[in-house]
Structure 1
Amino acid sequence: MLEGNRVSRISVRGFAVASATAVTTVGAVVGVAAGGEQQQGSSDPIEATAADATLLADIPAGQQAVAQGASLAQQADVQSTAADAEAKKSAEEAARKQAAKDAKVKKAAADKAAAEKLAKEREEKKQDVASRSAARDAGDIPKQASYTIAETKAIARQMIPGEQFQCFSNIVDHESGWNYQATNASSGAYGLVQALPGSKMSSAGADWQTNPATQIKWGLNYMNERYDSPCGAWSFWQANSWY
């Protein structure tokens, strides 16, 4: 192959030189016929042309085509790489947006579930407190001019759910000894549950000073609201000697 290329280049170079010589000869003949004078160096452009032709002929046509093809392939690779990078970037951006959207939806669902759970727990607690409220309302208890301890306890049994009665009784035993008119001389606390001040019990009835049923109703509501139940209040009382 190398020898063949050399022959090709020599042949092309010979052709270019022969062509240049022919042109020079023709030019000289024409110049003489026209009576013009041949100027010094007039053959230089023709020789330069022949030299250029020789340089171009030194690069085989096949190699020129290969070089051009390689350049086009390289450009195609660059464009393909750029397209792949852009596609990857777009895919990543789409994935990020979708992940953010999914996270938002998931958070909203979690918040809703938490709110529903809290509402359910509050409703259950409300129902539980209601179930621990007076089994019989104070207004249903016949009023008397006075009450013995036994009568007062009997009223309490009617008003307080059975599983909570003993806890309620334990507190009243320590606070007033079941005397609905008991008064703490130093603090002013009054009644079965020693409300401080005693006037607090007016929220359960205007007869709070003389009706043990009114005092029991107020005491039961107080224990339910603050300690969830009379037994909750009794546990606190045992640890602190007050409630």
Structure 2
Amino acid sequence: MLHDSRALRRASDAASARASVNSRRSRWILGSVTGGVIGLALTAGIVAAPAAGAELPDTVDHVTALVTGSDPLHKTVDDSAITIKLAKDAIAAADAKTAEVAGSGLDLAGAPAAVETQDLTAWIGQLGDRDSLSDRELTSLTAYTVTGTEAVVAETAALQASYDAAQQAKAAAEQAAAEAAAAAEALAQANTVDGAKATARSMASSQYGWGDDQFSCLNSLWTKESGWNYKAYNASGGATGIPQALPGSKMASAGSDWQTNAATQISWGLGYISSVYGTPCSAWGHSQATNWY
């Protein structure tokens, strides 16, 4: 009877140890140890009855040895199983991120575009055959694998950061390109005859308080001078642009883009008319009388 009780307790010990490995816990928790010891003590009392009381200390010592490391080979094997699981998870995450980055085609600005996992994979393979390893070899390989796992996790995090930065840079570049395209489209529209007239009407009203009567004179004046063409150029005299500034470089005072932007030319032309003639109608009257303004 005593022999059977001891065998039962040994089987219970082995089952508890296997369950501890399968739980994949990375740390041994003292509370769990205490609970396991108490549970085994209670089980021993029920199965073996008082007569087996003398054997109870042997059961407690055996379970404690599995947990605390007084039986180092068993504990190292259990730790290795957890280490392998964590390492495989790290490799899977690294490989997935490497594949995602490669598929994106993004430039990581010189940062590594992949996480190297070959060494860690090799160590996992060796740990998989841990029954053939000595205690010392098992301990060393487990340490290598833990260190390698930490390195792979860190490199994966760095790759993620580089990938995020590349995605942000791409988004910023796309936004800048879209804004540039929109600005170019707006400029092209403003540089048309109708666009230039609309700009001139708006500026004349908002900046000088000139109404439709003055705009009518301005329209007649600049239709005669340039046909509202911002590229107009008088080869014989050098007058340039919608207001036919002479020389055209005068319009640089209104903006450096005076050669390509009708609005800049119009801004300069309205200022010229205001300072020299007072109003567009006065400038138009002078043009009609002298053929220039």
TM-score bracket, normalised by the shorter chain, equals 0.3 to 0.5
Whose radius of gyration is greater, 1 or 2? 1
Q: Give me the TM-score of the superposition, normalised by structure 2.
A: 0.33
